[in-house]
């Protein structure tokens, strides 16, 4: 079975597998255009010296999440991986079972002189995923697809919690956010075949339906942050 079909089906039984395969090949509408969330009222301070900083986000399949941040100006690296579980279980077949504690995530390295952590969060909540969906994202279900922020510093944790509260208080999305803030968690890079997946497979049906609209929304809602040429893992 080719990888695009196998992508999210490891944990399914025979009957569920047959149904999931059927759904994969039925026509599907593109996602509705995203709406711009307000910028955070609280920003994480920049570390002295202007050194590169790291952020980790999770929100559904890491293929689209990685691609979004690869097209953000000021991002120097975006790597797909797993956050929230142990190193021993940070392997795709195990993570896909939904019992390892991991979430499919993306580690974003960025230049804070060009883009701030608050702007990355605004992009994450606006276009990278739907933060109101609990333990799912589009066609993908399970805790491994949860919406989560994995702060790498106490300042990021404070800023993320404040932003979630801000969005919930303003009812920006019409319902409470399902996004968790999970501290002291380690990120583990995913297998090579998951890296740069959208850039290498732009015609994949899953990508066309679920992820290319995110790039359209990024370019439309954040034109100043958009970069045409993505920063790819395979080019580093």
Q: Residue 3: is its pLDDT beyond 70? A: no
Q: Residue 176: is its pLDDT beyond 60? A: yes
Q: Which helix (H) or strand (E) holds 93?
A: helix 92-95
Higher pLDDT, 7 or 209: 209
73-113 pLDDT, tens digit per residue, is 999 999 999 999 999 999 999 999 999 999 999 999 999 99
Termini Cα distance of the chain: 30
Q: Which residues are catalytic?
A: 61
Residue length, the chain? 236
Place of tokens 């994450």: 124
Is 59 in contact with 210 (CB distance < 8 Å)?
Answer: no
Please give the structure tokens belonging to residue 72: 């953000």
Number of H helices, E strands in the chain: 9, 8
**Which pLDDT score, from 0 to 100, does residue 236 have?**
60
Residue 231 domain-assigned (yes or no): no
Please give the structure tokens belonging to residue 132: 């109101």
Range of the domain at 8: 3-225
Residue 137 domain-assigned (yes or no): yes
- Mean pLDDT score of the chain: 88
**Which pLDDT score, from 0 to 100, does residue 131 have?**
97
Residue 232 domain-assigned (yes or no): no
Residue 114 domain-assigned (yes or no): yes
Please give the structure tokens belonging to residue 79: 């790597």
Strands, sheet with 103-110, edge to edge from the N-terminal-most edge strand: 180-181, 147-150, 53-59, 103-110, 75-83, 187-189
Residue 180 domain-assigned (yes or no): yes
**Which pLDDT score, from 0 to 100, does residue 46 have?**
85
5-45 pLDDT, tens digit per residue, is 334 443 334 333 333 333 333 333 445 678 899 999 988 88
**Which pLDDT score, from 0 to 100, does residue 31 have?**
52
Task: Report d(CA 207, CA 199) in Å as an integer.
Answer: 10
178-201 pLDDT, tens digit per residue, is 999 999 999 999 999 999 999 999
Mean pLDDT of 57-71: 98
**Which pLDDT score, from 0 to 100, does residue 4 have?**
40
The total of structural domains in the chain comes to 1
Residue 116 domain-assigned (yes or no): yes
115-126 pLDDT, tens digit per residue, is 999 999 999 999
Residue 233 domain-assigned (yes or no): no
Query: 17 in helix, strand or coil?
Result: helix
Task: Report d(CA 3, CA 12) in Å as an integer.
Answer: 15
**Which pLDDT score, from 0 to 100, does residue 50 have?**
77
Residue 205 is part of a domain; what is its CATH number?
A: 3.30.1060.10
Residue 10 domain-assigned (yes or no): yes
């Amino acid at each position: 079975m080719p990888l695009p079909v196998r992508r999210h089906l490891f944990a399914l039984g025979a009957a569920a597998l047959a149904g999931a395969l059927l759904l994969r090949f039925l026509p599907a509408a593109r996602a509705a255009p995203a709406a711009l969330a307000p910028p955070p009222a609280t920003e994480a301070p920049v570390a002295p010296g202007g050194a590169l900083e790291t952020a980790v986000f999770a929100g559904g399949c890491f293929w689209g999440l990685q691609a979004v941040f690869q097209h953000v100006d000021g991002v120097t690296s975006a790597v797909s991986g797993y956050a929230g579980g142990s190193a021993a279980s940070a392997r795709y077949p195990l993570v896909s079972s939904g019992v390892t504690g991991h979430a499919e995530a993306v580690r974003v390295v960025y230049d804070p002189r060009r883009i701030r952590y608050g702007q990355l969060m605004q992009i994450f909540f606006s276009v990278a995923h739907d933060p109101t969906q609990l333990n799912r994202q589009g066609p993908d279900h399970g805790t491994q697809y949860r919406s989560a922020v994995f702060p790498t510093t106490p300042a990021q944790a404070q800023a993320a919690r404040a932003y979630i509260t801000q969005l919930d208080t303003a009812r920006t999305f019409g319902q409470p956010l399902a996004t968790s803030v999970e501290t002291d968690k380690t990120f583990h890079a995913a297998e090579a075949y998951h890296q740069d997946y959208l850039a290498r497979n732009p015609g994949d049906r899953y990508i066309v339906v679920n992820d290319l609209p995110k790039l359209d929304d990024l370019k439309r809602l954040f034109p100043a942050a958009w970069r045409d040429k993505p920063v790819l893992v395979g080019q580093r």
